[in-house]
Amino acid sequence: MTRTPSASAPARIRRKNRLGATETSRSQALQPSSSFKFGRKRRHALRASIVGGLTVAALALTGCGLQPATAFVPAVALGSIKHIDGLPADAKLTVTSKNFTEQLILGKIAVLAASAAGFDVTDMTNVPGSVPVRQLMLTGGADVTYEYTGTAWLSFLGNAEGIPDKAKQYAAVRDADAKNGLDWLQPAPLNNTYAMAIRSEAAKKLGVTKVSDIAKLPVADRTFCVESEFNSRADGFKPMLRHYGLELGGSGKNGVPSGNVSILDTGAVYTATDQGKCNFGEAYTTDGRINSLDLTVLDDDEKFFPAYNVAPVFRSATLDEYPQLKEVFDQISPKITDEQLRKLNLRVDVGGEEPADVAFDWLKSEGFVTAG
């Protein structure tokens, strides 16, 4: 059965910052759970009993202030994800996620995959912020979530600097969190880190494909749009410039005059970059607006930005009890790429589709599940 506190997701941009806060294009109360509605094309086809035993019930997690409501999730049947042999009929699994678009999609992927594998799934997705999700995992309130290596390394494990090398960052987090009773499975190629983006037309005109190319441009062309947090972070704008041999406020050939930098709200950065008010805008590598605005992400060729690869994270006790879950989720991870999530995020943020429907469509298109 699936018990779900997930909220309906109107067509708005939900983005996270690196402290786990959520930024939206309009104000919203921090209510992690209200009814989650699904797209019309399947809304009338859903049923309460499906493969994996999905039904609906209400939950309350008073410690985190969650007041979930009841809702259905799309019905799934077997694809390449098979019902786990010998799984007890009452085997339970609780899935959690944060409350921005990408996390909602990943959370629903986990819910549907676990359901197809035969679990009675409790859906605790749509929790506001990284810390409450972390607490659910540490205290046994949830069994699995999708988390970012950089977030865990910097925010949860207390390290001052990230590790740009993806494999090394993953290994460091995996080994450190094992002591906390958490098992990190195979990471996905998806790396939702910071990036510099530019209009594709401007990229061709200026001849830039990587961040190091910016230093080769005339000073007048080194114009930037960034948000205030990125401007002040240790892994943000100013250190990035220094790493690539540029000096903010400098007047020489390697300078970036202060007047060349616009400090804007997150959503406004994308708009200003698209409108040519600056050549280079701060971006998240999996943001759907990269595709919708036809922006080009510059290659971080000198590896400045920390790695934020996503991976399924399980409570060790859960994997000890159900080791077959590793096979279920390890087949999904290689398919979760930056480009795929840009497309999926775009369908929610711009197209107004529901994260659960988008997750179901993707799992079905990859052959992991079929329609129930």
Domain boundaries of the chain, sorted by first residue: 14-191+308-371, 194-297
Q: Are 197 and 295 in contact (CB under 8 A)?
A: yes
Residue 287: which of 263, 267, 302, 310 has the closest Cα? 267
Determine the 3-state secondary structure of 295 from DSSP.
strand
Q: What count of other Cβ atoms lies within 10 Å of the Cβ of residue 140? A: 12
Q: Are 126 and 14 in contact (CB under 8 A)?
A: no
Q: Are 100 and 28 in contact (CB under 8 A)?
A: no
Residue 325: which of 24, 39, 151, 87 has the closest Cα? 87
Determine the 3-state secondary structure of 338 from DSSP.
helix
**Residue 195 pairs with which residues in a beta bridge?**
283
Global confidence as pTM: 0.80
Structure tokens at 240: 């990035």
pLDDT confidence of residue 267: 81
pLDDT confidence of residue 38: 34
Q: Which residues contact 232 (CB under 8 A, 6 or more apart)?
A: 238
CA angle 155, 18, 73 (to 5 degrees): 95
Q: What percent of the chain has pLDDT over 70?
A: 80
Q: Which residue has the higher pLDDT, 67 or 291?
A: 291
Per-residue pLDDT band for 69 (boundaries 50, 70, 90) equals very low
User: Which of 71-75, 207-211, 348-352: highest mean pLDDT?
Assistant: 207-211
pLDDT confidence of residue 32: 38
Determine the 3-state secondary structure of 368 from DSSP.
coil
How far, in Å, CA of 361 to CA of 148, rounded? 23
Decide if 14-191+308-371 and 194-297 have a common fold. yes
Per-residue pLDDT band for 72 (boundaries 50, 70, 90) equals low
Residues 222-251, mean pLDDT to the nearest whole number: 93
**pLDDT at residue 44 is higher than 50:** no
How far, in Å, CA of 342 to CA of 340, rounded? 5
How far, in Å, CA of 213 to CA of 297, rounded? 13
Q: Are 49 and 185 in contact (CB under 8 A)?
A: no
**pLDDT at residue 247 is higher than 80:** yes
What are the pLDDT digits (tens) for 101-110? 999 999 999 9
Q: What is the mean pLDDT of the chain?
A: 84
Which CATH number is associated with domain 194-297? 3.40.190.120
Which CATH number is associated with domain 14-191+308-371? 3.40.190.10
